[in-house]
Chain A
Amino acid sequence: MRDRRLASGGRIDRSRPLAFRFNGKGYRGFSGDTLASALLASNVRLTARSFKYHRPRGIVGSGPEEPATLVELEGCHASANRAATTVRLEDGMAARSVNCWPSPGLDLGAVSQLFAGLIPAGFYYKTFKWPGWRLYEPAIRRAAGLAGAPDAPPPDAPPPDGHFEAVHAHADVLVVGAGPAGLMAALVAGRAGRRVFLADERTEAGGSLLDRRMEIAGRPALEWVAESVAELTSMPNVTHLQDACVWAYREHNFLMVNERSPANPSMLERNWRVRAGKVILATGAIERGLVFPDNDRPGVMLASAAQAYVNRFAVKPGERAVVFANNDSAYAAAADLLASGVDVAAIVDSRDPVPDSARDLAGGIPVKGGSVVIGVRGRRSVKGAAVSKRDGQGASTIDCDLLLHSGGWSPAVHLFSQSRGSLRYDESLATFVPDEAAQACVSVGGASGELSLASALRTGAEAAAMITGTEMPDLPTTTGESYAITPLWRVDAPGAKGRAFLDIQNDVTVDDVHLALREGYENVEHVKRYTTGGMGLDQGKTGNINIIGTIALQKGVPLQDVGTTTFRPPYSPVSFGAIGGIREESVVLPYRHTPVTQWNLDRGAFMYEAGARWRRPGYFLRGDETFQETVNRECRAVRECVGVYDGSPLGKFELKGRDAGRFLDHVYTNLMSTLKPGQCRYGLMLTEDGLILDDGVAMRLGEHRWLVSTSTAHADAVHGHMEELLQTQFPDWSVHVTTVTSQWNNATVCGPRAREVMAALGTDIDLSPEELPFMRFADGHVAGLPARVVRVSFTGELSFEINVAPRHMRDLWEWIMEAGAPSGIEPVGSEASHVLRVEKGFLSLGHEVDGTVDAHDLGMSWIMSKRKADYVGKRSVELRRRGKAVRRELVGLLPADPNDQIPEGAPLTPGGEKRPSEGLVTACVWSVVLDRWVALALLENGKSRHGETVHVRLKNATVAATVGEPVFHDPDGLRMRS
């Protein structure tokens, strides 16, 4: 293996060698390397296969613009589809090329090149249409996909918690990019005492100065960089992050920063959400490629990238180079390569004449003016460049193993454009530059088209001085450099034959764009989608402008009229984990617990999500019971002796004010204001369009004081509903709503022996049916604790809902279990509660209630007050029922075979045949009172079909069932009133 590392120089730490693996083979690099520079140093040239045609590819760029070499990282660095040029090399790292199997050298998918003619632009939309795309999709995705999501991390990986973090930050000035312009801006704003947030995507500050040999104040530019960084570090008002990519610029100056290597080793990435007063965009410029046949061969590289590899990483990307350019900047790159011992055979410049400013930089390298590269020799690695005059004359081949190209520089306007700033085409720079800003931001340096070092320093300082209202500092002197360009959108010399790539990552060629235009896709956004040009992970950083140029040439219009496609986040790929941060089981979005949660967990309760971040016990598995045996045991306890459940998560709201009764009459369908203190009533709330919002209970505590309880999951919705009405429709009504969900906890003792348990607990409240009948409540003491006892029932049995302050809940619960032990009390989970309510035909939002159902369908016409002239939803329900549409009505179903369980949600069809459904099963439970499966269903005209046999249509069977009343237990409600 040939080592291409230079003997000295570079920003690498030669005392810290790192071992890594690539496609299964071991290599070595140094601290400071990227995966790409380490591969080049190890002379690995064929590093990838392309997305569509599986063409051999190498490393093209040196940063996030890299279009060709995507890798999948394994082990504890696991990450899919990273550009090799952005992966900071670490010891023990293992990486794999995407798109090739088994290896880039022997890629079986490469046969697809033979069929390349069959995969033109838009092939997804044209081919494989009959009989259905889904037949072909899996095979195509396998052949033409990128890497999948990483597999589960190995055992030695960091713990799953703490991998990612999301934090908020505020800044007076957010500076994006720590190149010369960004550093200068941060210094000026920092010295002015502003809160400065400086973020840069590279592993160290300096931007383009890292890649080039420049001087500031008569010394190497990187000395100025080091001094500037040190000064920023000394300022407590400055936050400076490297390896931190600003990837989104959202509304109201909200930007996302992905810090890829936080100092905390247990953290993989940290996502900053920064709200900035002003934003200074010092994002630099990106070199674009030239478009010529076979411009994707391994060894064809951007000139600036080669310059970065020799200067920053001390790697020779080749031994003998040909440089192809249409602008001056490639000459400096050529000179640096020459100085590093690379033999530069020629500079091929499409311009005629070549400006003297450029020739002066060539330093003896032969310059071929008015010439272009018309082809590349070598398939898996460059062996030579075919060159001719632009008119095709004087064709010859120059031997080389490195073909560098530069199509000029495009300001990195991505963030500016994301912020909705407009762009304008600049003729002299042959590129799009920022025009009018839409938010409080300003572009400086290369990002604004100021491509010289002197103007980068100046514009950076100017922007910060203006924002902070401070004096312009004295600017250091710099080495001068010139930049001139004559655009060359593609090589069209007569000898130029072969695929010329515009988007290397997505395998989009000039022919594809021409085809799209021929087929009528003329808008640049349509061309993008039809060809997929610019839709890769690199977002077309090196190629988009050439696509626009190709369209402009073909249509004969200026580039300004073609315009750019819309830039969208992310600027560079970001892990989903970083966006999400820490979520589950954390302080960010915690679960809500009642004082009994720990007691439940201690007894092996299986916890369910109960909505609104509450977790409730689903069932209490005991011994070697099956799930069904557990649920049956808990149900039997309630039906035969006594059970208890924790109703604390139910939403509770206290309403005060002289208009509270009037207000409740407006939000409930039934009449509430006629209740007397001490009474409560079950009620239904609708939305204005007549849909059921919630069912709950209203209690009148006093003349102007009420307590409303809601279902757990809909508490927030009900709260918002009430507040919206009060604040926007009835601002002059005197009603004040206070959330008391967590101020009142409750344990509900239910079952025929509930009264025994209450007596054993001891209470000063007279619980006799005469003094405290069903739907009454009373305040007093239970077991010596201040309590409110409410006689509501969600199980159909005699029930006492004991409400206490949260600090008393755990005591109360344990005393209930103790006092209830002689009566055989059991704690009851949501599964048993579900069975008990189905046996009684009590509705459950989400089961029996969806957007099509109203109270009449549920057999609850009695709850829709006829006495009230108006309430929320009344008019809409009436309007809807006036039509002749068939309604689905709630019924009970008894499967013909009592042991047949019907899946919840199963459709009912006439005769169980393949016909439009006439309803669905909303719930099916094993009834402990009937000792069989029973179900609730919504059935067309169900109320008038009692006694009929209907059919449930399942995948491989039909189930016959008899229609009846939607109640299977105590139809007259005598037990809950006892």
Chain B
Amino acid sequence: MMLIPCPFCGHRNESEFAYGGPVKPDRPDPHAASDEDWVDWLTTVPNPLGPVEERWWHVKGCGTWLTIWRDTRTHCVVEGSGDAG
């Protein structure tokens, strides 16, 4: 079970969080984006072998949606979401 750094609560067990998936690019303007770009944004999820930026929801804690960089090979959180206690 991973330890996930919450900017408000500090390092907490993974079981307190809900996984929010890798961070996608910003939502394209639905009026300007081509069909291909829209579908690409919708369905292509970053899946690198190495650090990935991803979101977690501290649902059984403070309720924050936070972002971390996690190395998919090692589970190491290489960059947290700010300092926490």
Interface residues of A (CB under 8 A from B): 250-252, 254, 273, 275, 420, 438, 688-689, 716, 720, 723-724, 727-729, 869-870, 874-876, 879
Please tell me if the beta carbons of B74 and A869 are within 8 angstroms of each other in the complex: no
A875 CB contacts on chain B under 8 angstroms: 30, 33, 38
9 A-B pairs with least C-beta separation: A251-B75, A875-B30, A727-B65, A252-B3, A254-B1, A252-B2, A724-B65, A251-B2, A870-B30
Q: Write 15 A-B pairs (CB below 8 A) sorted by A numbering.
A: A252-B75, A254-B1, A254-B3, A420-B74, A688-B42, A720-B59, A723-B57, A723-B65, A724-B55, A724-B57, A724-B65, A870-B30, A874-B30, A876-B42, A879-B35
Least Cβ–Cβ distance between B8 and chain A, in angstroms = 12
**In the complex, A452 Cα to B42 Cα: how many Å?**
60
B55 CB contacts on chain A under 8 angstroms: 724, 728
**B15-45 interface bits toward A, Cβ cutoff 8 Å, 1 = contact, 0 = none:** 0001010000001001101010011001100
A275 CB contacts on chain B under 8 angstroms: 3, 13
Please tell me if the beta carbons of B1 and A273 are within 8 angstroms of each other in the complex: yes
Specify which of B42, B55, B64 lies most central, judged by the most chain A CB atoms within 10 Å of its CB: B42
Please tell me if the beta carbons of B31 and A870 are within 8 angstroms of each other in the complex: yes
B10 proximal to A (CB < 8 A) = no
B61 proximal to A (CB < 8 A) = no
A728 CB contacts on chain B under 8 angstroms: 55, 65
B63 proximal to A (CB < 8 A) = yes
Contacts A251-B75, A273-B1, A688-B42; is A729 near B57 (CB within 8 Å)? no
**In the complex, A879 Cα to B27 Cα: how many Å?**
16
Least Cβ–Cβ distance between B54 and chain A, in angstroms = 12
Closest to B39 in A: A879
**B46-85 interface bits toward A, Cβ cutoff 8 Å, 1 = contact, 0 = none:** 0000000001010100011100000000110000000000
A879 CB contacts on chain B under 8 angstroms: 35, 38-39
Least Cβ–Cβ distance between B63 and chain A, in angstroms = 6
B27 CB contacts on chain A under 8 angstroms: 688, 729
**In the complex, A420 Cα to B75 Cα: how many Å?**
11
Specify which of A251, A729, A874 lies most central, judged by the most chain B CB atoms within 10 Å of its CB: A251
Closest to B18 in A: A720
Closest to B21 in A: A724
**In the complex, A870 Cα to B27 Cα: how many Å?**
12
B63 CB contacts on chain A under 8 angstroms: 723
**In the complex, A876 Cα to B1 Cα: how many Å?**
36
B39 CB contacts on chain A under 8 angstroms: 879
**In the complex, A273 Cα to B55 Cα: how many Å?**
25
A438 CB contacts on chain B under 8 angstroms: 74
**In the complex, A724 Cα to B59 Cα: how many Å?**
11
A720 CB contacts on chain B under 8 angstroms: 18, 20, 57, 59
A723 CB contacts on chain B under 8 angstroms: 57, 63, 65
Please tell me if the beta carbons of B74 and A716 are within 8 angstroms of each other in the complex: no
Please tell me if the beta carbons of A250 and B65 are within 8 angstroms of each other in the complex: no
Least Cβ–Cβ distance between B29 and chain A, in angstroms = 9
Please tell me if the beta carbons of B3 and A716 are within 8 angstroms of each other in the complex: no
Specify which of A275, A727, A869, A870 lies most central, judged by the most chain B CB atoms within 10 Å of its CB: A727
**In the complex, A176 Cα to B27 Cα: how many Å?**
49
Least Cβ–Cβ distance between B41 and chain A, in angstroms = 9
Least Cβ–Cβ distance between A857 and chain B, in angstroms = 20
Least Cβ–Cβ distance between A263 and chain B, in angstroms = 26
**In the complex, A438 Cα to B75 Cα: how many Å?**
11
B59 CB contacts on chain A under 8 angstroms: 716, 720
B43 CB contacts on chain A under 8 angstroms: 689
B31 CB contacts on chain A under 8 angstroms: 869-870
